[in-house]
Structure formats: C-alpha cells, structure tokens
Amino acid sequence: MRAPEAIRLEHYLAISRAIGGELDFQKVLNRIAGAVKSKLLDYDHMDVAVILPNDKSMHIAIETGVKTFWGQNGKHQQNALSPIRQMLNGEVDVLTTGDAWEDSRFHFDGSFDAPIFEANLRSRIHVSLNVHGELLGALNISSHSKNAYTAQDVDTARNIADLISPYIYALNMSEQARLAALAEGAARGREQSLRVGAQKLTEAMEAERQRLGMELHDQTLADLSAIYHRVEKLSDDSHPKAQELRQVSAAISRCTRELRGIIENAKPGVLDLFGLTQAIEAQLKRSTQGLDREIATDVTDTTADFLDQGAYRIRLAVFRIVQEAVTNAVKHSECHRISVALSRQDAAIRITVTNDGIEPPEGWRRSNRGVNNVRVRAALIGADIAFERTPQNVGSQTILTIPLSVFDDQNAEDPEGDLSARMRHLAGADENPSRLEDTG
C-alpha cells in the first residue's frame, strides 16, 4: 500500500498532465478544477484572477463551478475594487476566511462584493500566483459552507497555486503575443486600407480638377468670350443703348459669381477669414439655394471655437467632411432640415451633421466614392467617423469624433503633419484641396 504522500504527489501530477498542451485559459481552469475537486480539495466555486501584464491595476477572472459577475464576458476589473484587493496589490500572499459574508476585509466602499452574497460564498481560500517573484494573480477557492477549510487545505491550495503558476504565466505571455500579433496585423491592414483610400481620394481629386477645368472651359470661358464679342460690337457704336450695357453688366456679374463659387469650393476663403462655423454656415447656404424645396439649416458650436485654435489641416478636413455630408443630405435624403453641431464629448470633439430625410439606400456605406473619401479624410487626422440613423429613427446623421489627444501633438514638428503632406506620403501624389465627389 502506497504512502499518503505518494498518493498526493500523484494527484498533483494529475493536474500537470491534465493541462499539458492546452492553450485556452478557460479549458485549463476546467481541467485543473476536475483534478482538484476529485482528488485534493472540495469547492463550490473556483476562479483564477489574472493581473493584466500591460496594466497591473486591472485583472480578469476565469471561473469554474458557480458562475458570477466576476467572470462575466471576460471583462477587465479594477484591482482596487476587488474583495481581494490586498492580494492583487501584493500586500498579502494568503487570505482565508471562515465566513466571507461577515469578514470586513472583503467589504468596503465601492467593493465589487455582490457575488459573495449572490453565489453564497462563505468559506474562502485565496493564494497568490507567482513566477520568479512576479505576482500573476490569485487562485480563489470557495465553499457554500462556513468554516469548511483547514490549515492543511490552505497548504494544498498553495501547492496547487505553485504548480499551475508557470502554466498561467505561459498562457498569459502566449495570449499577449497573440494579441500583439493581431494588433500588428490590424495596424498593417489599416495602413494598407488608408494607403488605398488615400490613392482613391487623390484620384477623386484629380477627377474633380478635370471637372473644374471643363466647367471653366465650357461655361465660364464661353460666357467671357460672349461678353468680349458683345463689348467689341458695342465699341463700334458711339451711342450704345443703356439696355445693352445693363445686359453686359449682368453677364459680367454672373461670371463673377460663378468664378467666386468655383474658387470658394476649391479653397474656402470664409474658413481662412472667419473660422469653421462661419464656413459651415456659408456652405449650408450655398448648398440649399435654388432648390425646389425649402431646407432649414442651423449651426451650433458649444466648443468656444476650439477647432479654430488648432491646426489648419484638422479644420480643413472637418470642413470637407461636413461639406460632403451636407451635399449628400441635399441630393439624396429629400430632407427639409440640416443641422450641424460642434460639441465637446468627454475626451473628444464631436461634429454631428443631422438631417430629417429618408434613410439612404442599401449599401451606401460601402460606397467607393464620397463615403469612402470621408472615411479616409477622418483617418488622416486620427478621427473616427460613423453614419447612423438618428436616435428617434427619423433622418440620418454623420458623426465625426476627434480625440483631444489629436490636438496635443498637432504643433509638433512633423514634415507630414498637414493633410496634403500625408496624402503625398500615402498616395504618392499632390493634393489640391477641392470638393469631394458625392456618393452618387
């Protein structure tokens, strides 16, 4: 007959064999739990609290047995609010109680202690998980019964923790490597997507330049040629009629307005002279004039002109994105109101363009034209863009969110800091700011 020590060693080795080669946290804990409960230590709830390697103030809990909110959806939790904060902060390496309901160490202001009562966890053993002196987290074992565990049970829990700590460490490092690889892949994907998007945006701008050239050639130049011939004809008349002179004057005035509109679209002068809010108001006025329906407009800015104090590249990108959103609303939504709101939300500046029109057609978010160009413009200034229905489900809104961190380094010396430089870097082409194409 084998000695008890040999039997216990065999049980510990069974844990090692059970989890060998497994790479999933939950499956590892399930296998540990099976070997522990059947051979070494009875429990009703067991979990491992793993401190996050990249943020030592947070942890995640992986549970087996009774399920609680501690382990729900793998959410990150603050060590400072954990009932075992003393252990997760490294103040103690063992924490035991015969009745966690009554033990004041587990209950304090803000403590996430509700699962102790909801899951009826009374007796508890908590032992630290360590590798090479580094605190990884804690192994936590609980029973529904009061005073269920002995000093020998605590020693057993310590042995289990010592045995599984290297596995937890290896899994943690493996998970961090996996996440790092995913992040690197995602970053490469975003860079490639941004590069392709920038190229498409550059192509759209080139197409716009060609359109402007044709417009100047076919319309404005033609009008000016007609005016020239009329003036030349009138020069032969020593007493030109007042009506003919007024017609020439009106034609010159019309050409001037057309040229001013083309120039304003190519480089918004109001933006330079009077700021973003005034430029948006002017754009709304231009976009809603001469329509077969009335469109009410309004612009509100509760940021105290924050964007006007920042980099011009950001201000210009915001204007172009709003310009595109307004153009799409006018052309496609059949709306009767367009509102633009600039506000500060938490740690970001938010620009919302809202219309009360119909929902855009299916697939519009995947547009390779205007919508995609807007996404690229947002990405180039480190902002997020969203296209949504309004909360009331009446109309649509374009929401541009610019983190305040974008403005923190906007004045840093950066040869690619402005929009055009980044475009040249990403797309290999120069940008001449112009109107974006609408989504068609």
Classified by CATH at the fold level, domain 4-184 comes out as Beta-Lactamase (3.30.450)
- The encoded tokens of residue 285 equal 């006025």
Q: Do 384 and 190 form a contact (C-beta atoms < 8 A)?
A: no
User: Which residue type occupies 185?
Assistant: G
- pLDDT-derived band at 181 (thresholds 50, 70, 90) equals low
* Separation in Å, CA 73 to CA 62, 178, 307, 334: 10, 19, 39, 43
Domain residue ranges of the chain, discontinuous segments joined by +: 4-184, 188-427
3-class SS of residue 110:
coil
Q: Is the pLDDT of residue 419 over 60?
A: no
Highest mean pLDDT among 51-55, 204-208, 237-241, 394-398: 394-398
- List, for residues 120-140, the tens digit of each pLDDT value: 999 999 999 888 888 989 989
Min mean pLDDT across 90-99, 194-203, 242-251 is at: 194-203
- Where are any strands of DSSP class E within 269-378? 296-301, 337-345, 348-355
- The encoded tokens of residue 17 equal 């064999």
Q: Do 265 and 435 form a contact (C-beta atoms < 8 A)?
A: yes
Q: Is the pLDDT of residue 352 over 90?
A: yes
- pLDDT-derived band at 303 (thresholds 50, 70, 90) equals very high
User: Which residue type occupies 226?
Assistant: A
- List, for residues 32-51, the tens digit of each pLDDT value: 666 666 567 788 888 888 88
Min mean pLDDT across 226-235, 308-317, 328-337 is at: 226-235
- The encoded tokens of residue 9 equal 């060693």
The CATH code that applies to domain 188-427 is 3.30.565.10
